[in-house]
């Protein structure tokens, strides 16, 4: 589809992220939403939220539940617009420095560390992540 529409690579990637982005609801927590923003990118999430918000506003005609949904989606849209994607504080070189030989194990350890960092809602600092790398490197 991207080729037929003559989209740039960046536009095609943004469209793909939009298509894969989960639809948040009025019960979506900020923590879960931040994780979705990290995984799917803010551009796709913003586009999807704008469509969901437009739909919710059309249905909100005095209905308390629909109005609550509209309010929550609006708050999530504002959160998405302010979101700055955090950068994982450790790299593959940190895994190598923990005496892990080059190869797939480096990526595996880094993926596990990143998953824990995301699960903490990006609160684990570099020192804690380095300690986790050291633990994983020991086997």
The 10s digit of each residue's pLDDT in 49-61 is 999 898 888 877 7
| pTM for this predicted structure | 0.80
pLDDT band at residue 16 using 50, 70 and 90 as cut-offs: confident
d(CA 24, CA 39): 14
Q: Please report the pLDDT score of residue 23 as a whole number.
A: 86
- Give SS3 for 18: helix
pLDDT in tens, 23-35: 887 788 999 999 9
d(CA 95, CA 107): 9
pLDDT band at residue 1 using 50, 70 and 90 as cut-offs: low
pLDDT band at residue 6 using 50, 70 and 90 as cut-offs: confident
The length of the chain in residues reads: 139
Question: Which regions of the chain does DSSP assign to beta strands (E)?
Answer: none
42 close to 83: Cβ distance less than 8 angstroms: yes
81 close to 46: Cβ distance less than 8 angstroms: yes
pLDDT above 90 as % of the chain: 58
Considering only CA atoms, give the Rg of the chain: 19
d(CA 60, CA 136): 50
pLDDT in tens, 87-123: 999 999 999 999 999 999 999 999 999 999 999 999 9
Stretch 47-76: mean pLDDT = 86
Sign of CA dihedral 14, 66, 75, 88: negative
Q: Please report the pLDDT score of residue 2 as a whole number.
A: 58
Q: Please report the pLDDT score of residue 32 as a whole number.
A: 92
Q: Which of 87, 84, 17 is nearest to 49 (CA)?
A: 17
């Amino acid at each position: 589809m991207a080729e037929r529409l003559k989209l740039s690579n960046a536009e095609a990637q943004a469209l793909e992220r939009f298509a894969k982005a989960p639809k948040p609801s009025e019960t979506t927590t900020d923590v879960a939403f931040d994780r979705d923003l990290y995984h799917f990118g803010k551009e796709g999430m913003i586009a999807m939220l704008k469509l969901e918000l437009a739909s919710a506003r059309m249905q909100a005609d005095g209905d308390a539940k629909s109005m609550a949904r509209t309010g929550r989606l609006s708050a999530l849209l504002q959160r998405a617009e302010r979101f700055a994607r955090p950068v994982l504080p450790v790299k593959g070189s940190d895994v190598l420095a923990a005496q892990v030989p080059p190869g797939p194990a480096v990526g595996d350890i880094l993926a596990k560390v990143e998953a824990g960092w995301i699960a903490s809602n990006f609160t684990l600092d570099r020192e804690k992540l380095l300690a986790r790398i050291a633990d994983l490197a020991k086997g």
